[in-house]
Structure 1
Amino acid sequence: MKKLSKLVAVLGLSVVFGLSACSNNNNQTSGTAETTTASEVALPTKDRGGEEIEIPEEVDKMVSLVPSVTQVIDDLGRKDQLVAVDTQSPAMTKDIDELPQIDMMAVDAETLISLNPQVIYVSDISLHGSENVWSQVKDAGITVVNIPTSNTIEDIALDVQFIADTLKEHEKGQELVDTMNKEIDEIKEIGETITDKKKVLFEISALPEIYSFGKGVYLNEMIELVGAENVFADQESWIPVTEEAAIASKPDVILTNVNYLDDAVQEILDRESWKDVPAVKNEAVYYIDNAASSLPNHHMTKALKEMALAIYPDEYKSLENE
């Protein structure tokens, strides 16, 4: 289970408890694509989980217990105002190694309060089973902002804009989202012309505990955007996969974002019982950047481009120099 724990630390409790699938369908607040200036945008009064919040007018000390949020804060130019982060964020965001690091799955109220932040960004993985901790934090006058793991690309864009709005960085957030949508549209335009629907298996955890996903996960949406098919599209959310089921799915292409092995691609190619799987036989096995494919924010377009080039190199040749 050690490998799975690493996976959970990045993707959140959705893998184990299905929290993101349950909480995001109806509870996330919606946004708008209209162009407005920062001065016209009021501070959010509800977080992305639907809970009422009160954001201070000026935020200069914050904690992020969500790696994807930490990246957004960095891209908004506000990284220097972080006073602590989760243990995963330093691997995903540069130059924060010296900040205090907090286990997102074992938060301590006293530690958080002692940091004296105005805002703490969390996800369901930190909230689950820690109600008493967060009550103490809120009683200390600290705003707790929940951003559940999003299930769709549209919600990911709304998350990015929401984070920007909480920091009065609406225009910078809009720039990040606009760039993200532009890059997605470029791939979507090509993907819609592809009729050869290759079958794709995407491993997010390797043997002996293979994990993948079905519908209701943004990675499935990404596979479809490039013009391919997820071999487990008939299933829902994050799923454990038996070796027999993976082999029987006969994928044309295998993608992996496993980064805890020395060579995840070679590990798949060396599986003796997989030698007749089309993807293995044709050596169509590729590594996709772990951070870009694991963290639900605007950087997912990097993974989307890698997926497109891996599955359909000829069709997406124009992306090679980007």
Structure 2
Amino acid sequence: MKKRWSVLAALFLTAGLTACAGTGAEQTQSAAEPPSAVETEVQTENQAEAQTGTPEETVSASGEGEMDTAKPQEDRAGNPITVPEEVNSIISLAPATTQILCDLGLADKIVAVDTNSPQYAEELTEDVMQFDMMEPDLEQILNAQPDIIFVSNMSSQGGDDIFKSVRDAGICVAEIPTSNSIEDVKEDVRFTADCVGMPEEGAELVADMEKVIDEVSAIGQNIEEKKTVLFEISPVPYLYSFGTGVYLNEMIELIGAQNVLADQEGWISVTEESAVSADPDVILTSDNFSNEDPVTEILGRTGWENVTAVKNGQVAYIDNAASSLPNHHIVDALKEMAKAIYPEEYAGLE
């Protein structure tokens, strides 16, 4: 449990303290950073999509509305890549990406993963190789001869491209920085699916996301009395949460509530004193590593007795994997959050 906490803590600390640099296994762009060239390009594409339709549906020489099957020429970090026409052997060094690949039905093509992926992807074969995402064995990776490797920045905290020898060997290394917005999460899913030649299936995963988001948004926009919410990523004494510029904050707003830390940006350490003084109406937690029963722990905290959420018993656990891995499963967390914050309003949400 402690090892798992250290990895997850590193993931969220990375999310809050690093910008888009290097290659590794769970990268985030700091919310305090100005938009990069890649972000600007994505925003421009999104504006164009609002007028002309989604990028998956294009007019080709063979007909209208056909799915664009061209492989990406840049990864999500803006690095030029050459994706093989056929992808039959995959290494995934990011749990969020591993889940996407498994949900695309490609578990049997995954030859290696990071050591955290198996706990989030039961479909993986028992003999799949595992690498420490912080120090992957490059020799073994080269020997595995994958067609493509999916990474993000947990494997290169120093900023160096530790996969240079792999790239130089002609293997496609595709970097997917951990996204801070729901829209970017959708793009990550599409990108992964496009790389493995399954754009239609990727589009379906995104469409399913959008269906849930639209359903929640339709209810949330009509909620007038907004509850305030504190979402604990880790508990006291190392309380960690987020402000604006994080997809979880977007989710709170979609539901019709307000993040008590919305006056701050990105992933943040929070003092116990400031959390208590914020007096949230609801406290959510995804802590599954430090306490067997995180809800009971919060309700029993000394000095929190007069916090509205504690006083009224409005404390709920949100699935850790669904809320912490930025892929299409965030909508599972969205539904849990909605029902926890406004149980009556979202009673009919399936």
TM-score scaled by length of structure 1: 0.94
SS for the counterpart of 1:68 is helix
What is aligned with 1:94?
122
Residue pair 1:12, 1:124 contacting (<8 A) in 2 also: no
Report % sequence identity: 50
* d(CA) in 1 for partners of 2:181, 2:35: 10
Change (3 A) 1:52 1:24: farther
Query: What pairs up with 1:1-322 in 2 under 5 angstroms?
Result: 5-8=6-9, 10-11=11-12, 13-19=14-20, 20-22=28-30, 25-26=35-36, 27-28=38-39, 30=42, 33-34=54-55, 35-36=57-58, 40-96=68-124, 97-129=126-158, 131=160, 133-260=162-289, 261-319=291-349, 322=350
Residue pair 1:10, 1:295 contacting (<8 A) in 2 also: no
Change (3 A) 1:254 1:234: same
Letter in 1 for 2:114: D
Change (3 A) 1:163 1:44: same
Change (3 A) 1:119 1:178: same
Residue pair 2:13, 2:267 contacting (<8 A) in 1 also: no
* d(CA) in 2 for partners of 1:123, 1:24: 20
Structure 1: runs of 5 or more not aligned: none
* d(CA) in 1 for partners of 2:67, 2:301: 57
Letter in 2 for 1:63: I
Structure 1 position 100, deviation (Å): 1.3
Letter in 1 for 2:83: I
* d(CA) in 2 for partners of 1:315, 1:291: 25
Structure with bigger helix share is 1
Letter in 2 for 1:158: E
Structure 1 position 9, deviation (Å): 5.2
SS for the counterpart of 2:230 is strand
Q: Which moved more, 1:15-24 or 1:124-133?
A: 15-24
Structure 1 position 41, deviation (Å): 2.4
Change (3 A) 1:82 1:234: same
* d(CA) in 1 for partners of 2:66, 2:172: 21
Letter in 2 for 1:7: L
Query: How many pairs align?
Result: 320
Q: Render the CA deviation track for 1:213-233: whole Å, top value 9, x for unaligned.
A: 001100000000000000000
* d(CA) in 2 for partners of 1:296, 1:134: 23
